Amino acid sequence: MPTTPPLDPPARLPVAGKRGRKPACRMAEEASVPYRTTGSTLLLPLSDFLGIALDQVNFVACQLSALLAAFCFRLYLSPSHASSGVRHAFATVCGVYFAIFCFGWYSLHIFVLVMISYGIMNMASIPNIHRYSFVVAMGYLTICHISRIYIFNYGILTTDFSGPLMIITQKITTLAFQVHDGIGKKAEELTPEQNQLAIRRKPTLLEYLSYHLNFLSIIAGPCSNFKDYIAFIEGRHVQIKLLEIHWKQKGFDRLPDPSPMGPVLHKLGITLVSLLLFLTFTKSFPVRSIVDNEFISKTSFLSRLGLLYVVVQASKPKYYFAWTLADLINNAAGFGFSGVDERGNFHWDLLSNLNIRNIEMATSFKMYVQNWNIQTTSWLRRVCYERAPRYPTALTFLLSAIWHGLYPGYYFTFITGILMTLAARAVRSNCRHFFLSPEPLKVGYDVATWMVTQLAVSYTVAPFVLLAVEPTVKLYTSLYFHMHILCILVLLILPERSQRHTKSQQLSFHDMHDSERSKKQK
């Protein structure tokens, strides 16, 4: 699961061990010290009028400003009107301004890490450039996670600098690995995707700053590949994607010029609906309700399980809002074109972070994972899963937990996720082929697996929204740890398939790559 996006209630995390303060294991909602933003106070009157925390108002204001800037960028600073240098400079300056507006002096962490990483990019040897960049970026991020919680008492559920820093960490490591692949390895040593994304020269300072700090993604992401971003700035992005799918074979007499306005309007509608759901549905089912003592003591097991599902569903609109808006901003600037399908429809989902339909209709844990936080999943696969010499599944989940932060709930979620992944794989490989026909049997199987998947996901991600040990243990105890027990029983009872899974088949991160690649080739 991803880092908590904005629009959460502001709070500060009390420091453990200090007299008169609650321990750090309490949920954020129990903290009573008000949070004060370090960003601009220009919109404070609007914040007071709406009754919404200033840091959240600043976030939305910056994203709406970025959307307006994206339209202007595409119309008035297109490659036919401005040089790539001007486009790089404009994107960087706007991004820096938005970061300072939102996060004040805390934005220095973003700029410092980018400059340190640029130094590593130019001074480190090619065989070690990816290792040094990874260790420094992840180390700096981890130190910031520690300091914001335990030293500066920064908000536990607030819109702070850690979100952009997490995206910057993805970009730094992605670029370092791709430079290492392009300069330090031969083509035959790489996978087809690694060879396609490999970078054969080190980026200039302007390119490096623009890639990491551009206004399209500095506030809420997503992480893009360096080659795609440079092609977009230079005006080659759409043409490259069309050439990849052999546009003449799709029935076009000449190279088409697809417009992003259709996807922009569609995603704008999703953004508005998600915001409306957040302001109504989400507020009606707060996270703390699933660990309320009175509710637990007076309700049945099925009632508690049902409320857990509803609460997790209610937590989704803020993710849908933040990620769809970020995708929308990139599309409005003309970035994000991914190709043409068999029917000749243009697609602008290269940078999409989720597929809401597939999430809500997922009939397997794998299907759910591969459609949620897609860009982060791709990053985990490219920098960890495909390169881990041993235990790729466990190491990938561990990296994901560390990247998200240090709250115990993250580790509960990802450890449970490992069990769920292994158990779901065992059930699918041993049982699914019995239910493929006749059609009514398959429909019944799909309905049953949909219900199990949705409940399993709710059970798995609950600690992610609770964050702390005490409420997590209370919740799982009230549910008798039933999913953990079932997963262990499945792994003990169901036999291992005679044909061992290869590394490329072991985790949904890789399955997602196969799905993406086949989709682009259609």
Question: Which structure tokens are listed for 269?
Answer: 């509608």
CA distances for 466 relative to 47, 157, 440, 475, angstroms: 27, 11, 39, 9
Dihedral through CA 163, CA 167, CA 172, CA 176, nearest 10? 140
Tokens representing residue 323 in the block: 């990620």
b/e code 304-329 from CB counts within 10 Å (16+ = b): bbebbbebbbbbbbbbbbbbbbbbbb
Q: Which one-letter DSSP state was computed for residue 346? A: E
Which element (helix H / strand E) includes 339?
A: strand 339-340
Peptide bond into 260 cis (omega under 30): no
User: Under DSSP, is residue 347 helix (H, G, I), strand (E, B) or coil?
Assistant: strand
Q: Which DSSP helix (H) or strand (E) runs through 340? A: strand 339-340
Task: Using alpha carbons, list the distances in angstroms from residue 433 to 259, 334, 428, 437, 441.
Answer: 43, 44, 8, 9, 11
Contacts for 445-454: CB closer than 8 Å, 24+ residues apart? 446/363, 449/363, 449/364, 450/361, 450/362, 450/363, 453/362, 453/363, 453/364, 453/365, 453/367, 453/368, 454/309, 454/362
The amino acid that residue 486 corresponds to is L
Asked if residue 32 lies in contact with residue 347, where contact means CB atoms within 8 angstroms, the answer is no
Q: How far apart are the first and last CA of the chain?
A: 29
Residue for token pair 């976030």: 59
For 41-47, which contacts have Cβ atoms below 8 Å and span 24 or more sequence positions? 42/101
Q: How far apart, in whole angstroms, are the C-alpha atoms of residue 175 and residue 473? A: 39
Q: What tokens were used for 123?
A: 């001074």
Residue 447 is encoded by which pair of tokens? Answer: 């309905």
Active site residues: 373, 404
- Cα-based distances in Å from 370 to 82, 332, 367, 375, 394: 38, 25, 5, 10, 17
Q: Tell whether the torsion through CA atoms of 399, 402, 404 and 407 is positive or negative.
A: positive
